[in-house]
Amino acid sequence: MLTLTRVGANLYLRAMEVLNSIPVSLDLKEVLKRLHLRNGIKHIEKEIQELIEIVRPIVKPKVIYEVSYVDNKNEDSLRIGGVKFTSRVLRVNLDKVERVFPYVATCGKELDEITVPSDDIMKSYCLDTLKRMVLGSAISYLRDYLKRSYALGQMSQMNPGSLED
């Protein structure tokens, strides 16, 4: 997908790629582990398995990313794809980096259409955990895809709000 983006007085042509055929594996044992529950609580296992069966056929995680270049590095700022970021930590972390891959990942809107009774806190928590697992699968898929497609070695990621400044 190509988009034209205006940053200040400049126009940038951006090539964004959407990944939407992302495989997801939801296993009861893994879900129980993520929930910090032990095996053997049959009624909870049954509820979780029912949720998994609802989620599996409709889950459609997606990721959109683009290749961006880092330039105009100053004391406490830099530009990524023409957008200025002011952060000394980000600047230091990207000191030797020329290319980055900004992305947005989602577990998919389909999972938000699953309704859980508002008073069923456990089921709501389980569904939220399944969403986080699906999102994690999407991000893992993106990392593997980028490594294969761009012959990347070591990778790290930074998220908005996760840096000191």
The first and second tokens of residue 6, run together, are 């205006």
Q: In this predicted model, what pLDDT tens digit does every residue of 82-116 receive, in sequence order?
A: 899 998 999 999 999 999 999 999 999 999 999 99
In a shared domain, residues 109 and 142: yes
In a shared domain, residues 74 and 110: no
Please give the model's pTM, rounded to 2 decimal places. 0.84
Q: In this predicted model, what pLDDT tens digit does every residue of 13-60 receive, in sequence order?
A: 567 899 999 999 999 999 999 998 876 788 889 999 999 999 999 999
Asked if the structure places residue 31 within a domain, the reply is yes
Rounded to whole angstroms, how far apart are CA atoms 115 and 49? 16
Which residue is associated with the tokens 């049954």? 46
Scored b (16 or more CB within 10 A) or e, 144-161 reads ebbeeeeeeeeeeeeeee
Return the closest-CA partner of residue 60 out of 32, 94, 19. Answer: 19
Range of the structural domain that residue 73 is part of: 67-99
